[in-house]
């Protein structure tokens, strides 16, 4: 096993905001099941061609041909690529073709039931080192997504119990629906970064396939990390990987270094220049921004001097408070009716009197969160220092007062709940896990919604968000 004290590569939160993973060969090990299915499909078909046309073809090689022609590629592209290597050309057909049709799509559709049968029989093996690495990323506020050419991605994640680890999933079904080109083109990776709202230059692509590292390089991602589990590291490095490791145990995650961030006051002249001739729209977090960081949420009280400053600002520009707290809770704490407020991470939005702006997400999630809250309280009661804070549209699990040895136990309780209830997702704050409805909504979306609702989505408006965490 690689010595963890001498890592090959270290991921720093000051350099990267997200890591986008391939699935098979990186997180799960279903390559053997895929390879068996591909070999049976191609060998049977080539034997049929020998019987019909007298053609002679080399059978499918699970090592060479798997990596070269099908690994990491969309299924139909893999079929076409391998057949071309044997000098065989058949009509592409249509994705609706039946498995007995002699088309690229027909053969691809024939392979999928073979794979699913193998998956049901053998299950999906998981690389525990990869799961551990993802937990390290989350602990430092680095977000994660999964990108796979497989149309079975969701099934594999569910079978392996890994769905909750990824904020965003872009798979073969999504690619087909959206008309995205498969690997080695970067479309699916770029889509994942787009959905997360992350600059590809501040994202890492983790891949074990040649086509995957090629896609990462073509997409101009900040770093392409190759995983070589087959003894062919040069294949990955020569096709775009910046670093190649045998396993993610060789990669570490450093703690966020706040000193590496530029000082807002030190950059004030740049900010003033950007603001010239524009209207300022100021969005403020509450905890840690308008108040100091405290050990318990009820201790976060806004100072009168801060309140006076915000009141003066509100007379000069648009001011909104965007908080993870309940809407009524943050309104009560701020005590300024003239502001706009978005509570529950943007799920509950309201404007001041005379400027009616309301947006409330689906109330049907509330009973679901009620059940989750009950389960969390039952399972966390024995972990000293843990605190469950219920909000209207979310649940905060605080671990600031939990001993370092017990933090993993707190996260396991949260992860077990997420695995059992896919309609809830986990997000991260400072010493807190936030559980929210698993829909495409967050503080950033709330800011965009407010800008549009207030007619501030214009070139002459400079939106500024001030917060204290990722």
Q: Which residue numbers are catalytic?
A: 22, 24
Nearest C-alpha neighbor of 147 from the set 190, 177, 110, 202: 190
Q: Are 281 and 461 in contact (CB under 8 A)?
A: yes
CA 304 to chain centre: 39
CA 41 to chain centre: 34
Q: Are 373 and 390 in contact (CB under 8 A)?
A: yes
User: Which residues on neighbouring strands pair with residue 224, listed in sequence order?
Assistant: 205
Cα distances from 228 to residues 137, 235, 436, in angstroms, run 21, 9, 36
State the Cα–Cα distance between residues 318 and 457, nearest whole angstrom.
Answer: 13
Residue with tokens 């525990």: 128
Cα distances from 422 to residues 170, 209, 292, 417, 437, in angstroms, run 16, 29, 34, 9, 9
Q: Are 188 and 182 in contact (CB under 8 A)?
A: yes
Q: Are 387 and 413 in contact (CB under 8 A)?
A: no
State the Cα–Cα distance between residues 107 and 101, nearest whole angstrom.
Answer: 7
Q: What does residue 395 show for φ and ψ, rounded to 5 degrees?
A: -130, 130
CA 249 to chain centre: 20
State the Cα–Cα distance between residues 154 and 341, nearest whole angstrom.
Answer: 36
- Give the number of other Cβ atoms within 10 Å of residue 362's Cβ: 11
Cis status of the peptide bond prior to 184, with omega within 30 of 0: yes
Q: Are 156 and 120 in contact (CB under 8 A)?
A: no
Q: Are 2 and 250 in contact (CB under 8 A)?
A: yes
Token pair, residue 453, equals 């609702």
Residue with tokens 């080695």: 184
Token pair, residue 41, equals 């499909």
Positive or negative torsion for Cα 79, 183, 173, 416: positive
Q: Are 110 and 99 in contact (CB under 8 A)?
A: yes
User: Which residues on neighbouring strands pair with residue 463, listed in sequence order?
Assistant: 281
Residue with tokens 């396991």: 412
């Amino acid at each position: 096993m690689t010595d963890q004290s001498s890592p090959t590569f270290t991921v720093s939160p000051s350099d990267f905001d997200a890591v986008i993973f391939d699935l098979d060969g990186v997180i799960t090990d279903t390559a053997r099941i895929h390879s068996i299915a591909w070999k049976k499909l191609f060998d049977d078909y080539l034997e049929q061609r020998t019987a019909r046309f007298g053609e002679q073809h080399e059978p499918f090689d699970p090592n060479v041909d798997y990596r070269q022609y099908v690994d990491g590629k969309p299924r139909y592209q893999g079929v076409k690529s391998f057949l071309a290597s044997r000098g065989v050309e058949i009509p592409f057909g249509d994705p609706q073709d039946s498995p007995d049709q002699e088309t690229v799509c027909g053969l691809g559709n024939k392979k999928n039931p073979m794979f699913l049968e193998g998956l049901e029989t053998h299950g999906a093996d998981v690389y525990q080192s990869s799961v551990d690495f993802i937990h390290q990323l989350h602990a430092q506020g680095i977000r994660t997504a999964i990108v796979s050419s497989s149309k079975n991605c969701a099934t594999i994640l569910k079978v392996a119990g890994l769905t909750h680890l990824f904020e965003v999933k872009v798979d073969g079904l999504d690619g087909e629906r959206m008309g995205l080109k498969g690997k080695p083109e970067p479309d699916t990776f770029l889509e994942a970064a787009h959905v997360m709202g992350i600059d590809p230059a501040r994202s890492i692509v983790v891949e074990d396939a040649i086509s995957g590292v090629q896609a990462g390089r073509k997409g101009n991602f900040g770093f392409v990390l190759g995983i070589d589990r087959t003894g062919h590291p040069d294949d990955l490095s020569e096709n775009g990987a910046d670093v190649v490791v045998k396993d993610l145990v060789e990669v570490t995650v450093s703690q966020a270094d706040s000193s590496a961030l530029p000082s807002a006051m030190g950059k004030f002249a740049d900010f003033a220049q950007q603001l010239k001739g524009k209207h300022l729209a100021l969005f403020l977090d509450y905890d840690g921004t308008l108040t100091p960081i405290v050990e318990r949420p009820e201790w976060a009280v806004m100072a009168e001097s801060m309140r006076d400053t915000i009141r003066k600002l509100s007379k000069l520009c648009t001011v909104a408070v965007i908080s993870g707290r309940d809407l009524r809770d943050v309104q009560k704490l701020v005590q300024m009716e003239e502001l706009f407020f978005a509570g529950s991470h943007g799920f509950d939005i309201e404007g001041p009197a005379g400027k009616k702006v309301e947006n409330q997400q689906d109330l049907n999630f509330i009973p679901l969160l009620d059940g989750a809250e009950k389960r969390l309280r039952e399972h966390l009661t024995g972990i000293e220092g843990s605190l469950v804070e219920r909000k209207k549209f979310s649940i905060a699990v605080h671990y600031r007062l939990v001993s370092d040895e017990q933090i993993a136990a707190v996260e396991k309780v949260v992860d077990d709940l997420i695995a059992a209830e896919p309609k809830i997702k986990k997000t991260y704050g400072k010493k807190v896990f936030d559980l929210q409805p698993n829909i495409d909504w967050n503080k950033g979306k709330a800011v965009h919604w407010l800008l549009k609702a207030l007619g501030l989505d214009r070139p002459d408006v400079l939106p500024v968000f001030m917060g204290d965490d990722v």
